Structure 1
Amino acid sequence: MTLAVPERGVIAPQLYRVPDGAMRALNMTRTLVYDLIRSGRLRTVKEGRTRFVPASAIAEYVALLEREAGENQ
């Protein structure tokens, strides 16, 4: 998967809050994203009391889905 390339001069976020960016980036509901986090399929980091999903974790999860899809064919 290729993440969208930001316009010139715009810095792409490296950390997404679940309700703000992770849900949008994955096109999934809040409940499903938190289920993926609880199951360990989607990696997160914490800063203070806030949990973030790194952009790299989103790419890793999409790659996992692609591998699983390839195995099932």
Structure 2
Amino acid sequence: MIRRTASLPKADAQLGLPFDGAETSAPPVQVPGDPISVRVAEAIRLTGIGRSKLYELMASGDIETIKVGRCTLIPMTSLRALVRRGAP
């Protein structure tokens, strides 16, 4: 069994999330070890959005989802876009 531990990005690494409200035309920077998609519980933790609100955004199509069997995945690009434009 291989156990993998999460590694935190270095302080100087860009996450591709503009926190100052400035729009960027460049695509988000992919940090090594940064996941392509996350499960719903992780999306809630990362964004700080409540579970019910996240499911509302998923149902309305504001957040893209991918179903793999019974697992629902949310692409990180979709979460970044949500944060960039602000939740409705």
Letter in 2 for 1:27: G
Give 1 or 2: higher helix fraction. Answer: 1
The residue that corresponds to 1:6 in the other structure is 9
For structure 1, the residue ranges without an aligned partner over 5 or more in a row are 69-73
Letter in 2 for 1:12: D
Query: Which structure carries more relative contact order (alpha carbon 8 Å, separation 6+)?
Result: 1
- Runs of 4+ in structure 1 over 3 Å off: none
Tell me the secondary structure at the aligned position of residue 38 of structure 1: helix
The residue that corresponds to 2:72 in the other structure is 51
Q: Displacement, 1:33? A: 0.6
The residue that corresponds to 2:24 in the other structure is none
Tell me the secondary structure at the aligned position of residue 57 of structure 1: helix
The residue that corresponds to 2:38 in the other structure is 16
Query: What is the total number of aligned residue pairs between the two structures?
Result: 61
CA RMSD of superposed structures (Å): 2.4
Which structure: larger Rg?
2
Tell me the secondary structure at the aligned position of residue 51 of structure 1: strand
TM-score of the superposed pair, with normalisation by structure 1: 0.69
For structure 2, the residue ranges without an aligned partner over 5 or more in a row are 1-7, 11-31
Letter in 2 for 1:6: P
TM-score of the superposed pair, with normalisation by structure 2: 0.59
